């Protein structure tokens, strides 16, 4: 990646983390409520059996209403679990069930390894992010876990399952020309983005990509 793009990514990550940190708790909760309402209206939810979320940390938009939505729709709700490398697996979880902190201090379900699901077995995945643009490019925290875990989607016609839906506050949107959001070979585009204000269906190239 060109140094200018690396610098742009570092700067944008710092900016968005700082901006998220200033949000009052009430505003975060209201954003989470709004997101759950929009999620409930997505047609794909009607045919799904599994939905993976995340445990909100460091000012991320909270998903506190999503487990209840999944129970009401008879969906399995899952949370990501870190492996030894950059691959994620996912564990079913219900509110109040046991959690353990991973190596980054993020809570994960306390389940046996045999109960973990591989990424390709999911229907919908809610993906955290620091910035996004409407074409589906996402700037994450820099670990590369989601891109590595869902790299198989680079080789199929989109949209496909798992259906990747970014989750963000509206202020996290940036212009598609921003140097921090220029596509790299390892980037996996989102199918949609849910913000506290709207649902954005991202344009996808109907041709398969090679990564």
Phi, psi of 19 (to 5 degrees): -70, -40
CA dist., res. 177 & res. 174, Å (int): 8
Sites in the chain below the pLDDT cut of 50:
205-211
Q: Which of 187, 189, 191, 196 is catalytic?
A: 187
**138 has catalytic annotation:** yes
CA dist., res. 192 & res. 182, Å (int): 18
| Confidence at residue 86, expressed as pLDDT on a 0 to 100 scale | 85
| Confidence at residue 204, expressed as pLDDT on a 0 to 100 scale | 57
**147 has catalytic annotation:** yes
Domain ranges of the chain: 3-201
Q: Which of 9, 28, 89, 147 is catalytic?
A: 147
**187 has catalytic annotation:** yes
Q: Which of 20, 89, 138, 158 is catalytic?
A: 138
* SS3 of residue 169 by DSSP: coil
The CATH class, in words, for 3-201 is: alpha beta
Q: What would the 3-class secondary structure string for 120-134 be? A: HHCCEEEEECCEECC
Quote the pTM value. 0.93
Chain segment 131-189, per-residue pLDDT in tens = 999 999 999 998 899 999 999 999 999 889 999 999 999 999 999 999 999 998 999 99
Could you write out the DSSP letters of every residue in 29-73? HHHHHHHHHHHHT-HHHHH-SEEE-----TTPPP-TTHHHHHHHT
């Amino acid at each position: 990646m060109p140094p200018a793009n690396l610098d742009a990514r570092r700067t944008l990550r710092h900016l968005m983390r700082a901006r998220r940190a200033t949000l009052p708790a009430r505003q975060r909760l209201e954003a989470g409520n709004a997101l759950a309402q929009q999620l409930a209206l997505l047609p794909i939810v009607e045919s799904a059996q599994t939905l993976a979320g995340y445990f909100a940390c460091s000012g991320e938009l909270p998903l506190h209403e999503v487990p209840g939505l999944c129970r009401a729709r008879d969906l399995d709700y899952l949370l990501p679990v870190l492996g030894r490398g950059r691959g994620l697996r996912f564990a079913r979880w219900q509110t109040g069930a046991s959690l353990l902190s991973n190596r980054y201090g993020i809570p994960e379900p306390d389940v046996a390894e045999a109960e973990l699901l591989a990424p390709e077995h999911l229907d919908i995945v809610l993906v955290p992010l620091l910035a996004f643009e409407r074409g589906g490019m996402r700037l994450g925290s820099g670990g590369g876990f989601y891109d590595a875990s869902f790299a198989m989607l680079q080789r199929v016609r989109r949209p496909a399952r798992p259906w990747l839906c970014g989750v963000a506050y509206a202020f996290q949107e940036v212009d598609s020309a921003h140097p921090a959001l220029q596509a790299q070979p390892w980037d996996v585009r989102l199918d949609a983005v849910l913000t506290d204000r709207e649902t954005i269906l991202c344009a996808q190239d109907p041709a398969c990509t090679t990564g």
